[in-house]
Structure 1
């Protein structure tokens, strides 16, 4: 890897006209100059694409899907359209700390066998005012996201290791990040930076994701990622049913049991029957 490797910051955007400019500006303010931004608009029907196009330059590549394909397809295409030796995803409503890329590059250069580096992040309100500090954990040699679930923003990956995996599954509607983390830890070393490099914005649309339906749907896709990891690793699958129940219970923490029965039990059973 070069002394100053190019970093590809990947933004998959759908209907985020209100915040996407802030996400892009946070990359343009980086203290590390060797980067590109790859933005793919997933056929937004708001003003997102018009705003994004205003940033197009030699360092900012803009693409648009011919129809709405969803996050799995769009994130995979982001990687395919990029050329950096290191890449990371930035959600189109979030922002990076100004030293995020330089900190990540330093860690990657220190360990050539490192496939993935992750950090701490801030929970913020819609105005990006910090609400909570989310401290993750030291990775270590026995670390596995499959056991701890601690990998989170900001995550950067070395392309040379990503190319050893099957890549992001374009069929995944949610939990592409977990699926990617499992695959990356299977081919290299995971490292942790004890610093806050990512601002996660909570706003009207993100609040809707906290509904019972959204939480259950998210857990179901996450479980699919876990199940796929079990298959790849040849692990004993006898505890998969227990994992599934624990994940459903976690999704219900803020909701009563009768709401689950009323709103989602049919969907959960139908999904199980399709397995």
Structure 2
């Protein structure tokens, strides 16, 4: 992308954090490499994978502007922050190793930032792809009206949200709030968004499909649903908001999956016994 004066557009940094996701990573890499926007860099932070991740990264070295490291980290948040520290771009996005961008996505994002200098965040529609069924499923979408009125409460309770897979940040808002909180897992991005909102961040929604989010049993928020739900509860409490009852129940359901089976097994006979006693009374 070159403007009328022959100048390149702003540098875009795409950060991918991964751990033993070699079977998904190549698709993410190809989606970045295949963009029709040249002034970008792809930073991959690998947490010391023992699958074929490193081999894949070496395969693509020199084919496009790729930089990567492979070393153990404390958690995913620390890995995100490592990538953020390495990033040199004016515009920054995070692409998980099991997600990918659609063709032309980066160019649309850059154009939106250039046309709206007061905007700090830009994102668009995101669609879910189920790796088990091999089908494209839910399309996550919203409206600019909804996003313009988004509040801290909306973010914490999930009433309204940004779609992380298609979300890009202007560096100035990151400079205002600092890196992700390394003590928070699973909902570290929500905490980041809350802090950005508190600093007056403005968001722009593009009514176009930009990214695909991969859904599979190994994905962190699926595999560790109890911990992810607990992290959401802790974040709500940290900001001084009451935790919804449904969220507490959800946590118990994930933490103790045997509870529903217990009720299914023992409640019907109990009710049946009570019913027989009442009929005889």
Please classify the TM superposition score into its range, dividing by the shorter chain length: 0.7 to 0.9
TM-score normalised per structure 2: 0.78
User: Structure 1 segments of 4 or more deviating over 3 A?
Assistant: 208-211, 223-228, 249-258
Query: 1:210-266: per-residue Cα shift (whole Å, max 9, x none)?
Result: 36xx223112212333444x3xxxxxx3xx2334x342345568999862799xxxx
Q: CA deviation at 1:3?
A: 6.6
* Counterpart pick for 1:197 among 206, 210, 215: 210
Does the 8 A contact of 1:74 with 1:170 survive in 2?
A: no
Corresponding residue number in structure 2 for 1:265:
none
Indicate how the Cα distance of structure 1 residues 176 and 247 shifts in structure 2: closer, same or farther if over 3 A, else same. Answer: same
Q: CA deviation at 1:157?
A: 0.4
* Counterpart pick for 1:117 among 96, 106, 122: 122
Corresponding residue number in structure 1 for 2:226:
216
Does the 8 A contact of 1:42 with 1:64 survive in 2?
A: yes
Indicate how the Cα distance of structure 1 residues 258 and 129 shifts in structure 2: closer, same or farther if over 3 A, else same. Answer: closer
Corresponding residue number in structure 1 for 2:82:
77
Corresponding residue number in structure 1 for 2:151:
144
Corresponding residue number in structure 2 for 1:156:
168
Corresponding residue number in structure 2 for 1:49:
54
Query: 1:62-88: per-residue Cα shift (whole Å, max 9, x none)?
Result: 1122x2421010001111001000100
Corresponding residue number in structure 1 for 2:65:
59
Q: Quick check: which has more Rg, 1 or 2?
A: 2
Does the 8 A contact of 1:116 with 1:185 survive in 2?
A: no
Does the 8 A contact of 1:116 with 1:184 survive in 2?
A: no
Give the length in aligned residue pairs. Answer: 247
TM-score normalised per structure 1: 0.80
Corresponding residue number in structure 1 for 2:11:
6
| Cα distance in 2 for residues equivalent to 1:101 and 1:219 | 32
Q: CA deviation at 1:186?
A: 2.5
Query: 1:175-202: per-residue Cα shift (whole Å, max 9, x none)?
Result: 1221222122223211111111111112
